[in-house]
Amino acid sequence: QVQLVESGGGSVEAGVSLRLSCVVSGYSRSGTMGWFRQAPGKEREGVAVIYPGGTPTDYADSVKGRFTISQDKAKNTVYLQMNSLKPEDTAMYYCAAVFGALFPSQRLDARSYNYWGQGTQVTVSS
């Protein structure tokens, strides 16, 4: 059974950095991995995605230039490096996986993903 476990969230001040980790277990092949976030009262939105080979990657406009997604296949771990955090980045962050090709328009769409972690909270204060 596929399992995704996120960690690394926390409460920080604006301007600092955090790195989220997602450890994946229960499958023997690589999938497309995405990071999503959901703030209270808002829909879940795609933040970043990475294909099994490491490229391509894609980002939401709101995080481009500040967030970086990467993976360490030896550790079955996907990371989200978040720099210059802003209060509007406050949300529950989720890791997700899908085994299959996605059209570019699907990459940051939560409906495209089959497997989800439990989430890790990121709170950014001004």
Q: Quick one: which of 26, 47, 27, 24 has its CA closest to 107?
A: 47
pLDDT at residue 42 is higher than 90:
yes
Cα torsion 100, 101, 106, 111 to 10°: value is -10
Higher pLDDT, 5 or 28: 5
Mean pLDDT in residue range 107-118: 96
Q: How far apart are CA 106 and CA 67, in angstroms?
A: 20
pLDDT at residue 92 is higher than 90:
yes
Residue 48 pLDDT: 98
% of the chain exceeding 70 in pLDDT: 99
In the structure, what pLDDT confidence band is assigned to residue 28 with cuts at 50, 70 and 90? low
Q: Dump pLDDT digits (tens) for 55-75.
A: 889 999 999 999 999 999 899
Residue/partner pairs of 105-109 with CB below 8 Å, 24 or more apart:
107/32, 107/34, 107/46, 107/49, 107/58, 108/34, 108/45, 108/46, 108/47, 108/49, 108/58, 108/60, 109/46
Residue 27 pLDDT: 77
Q: What is the mean pLDDT of the chain?
A: 94
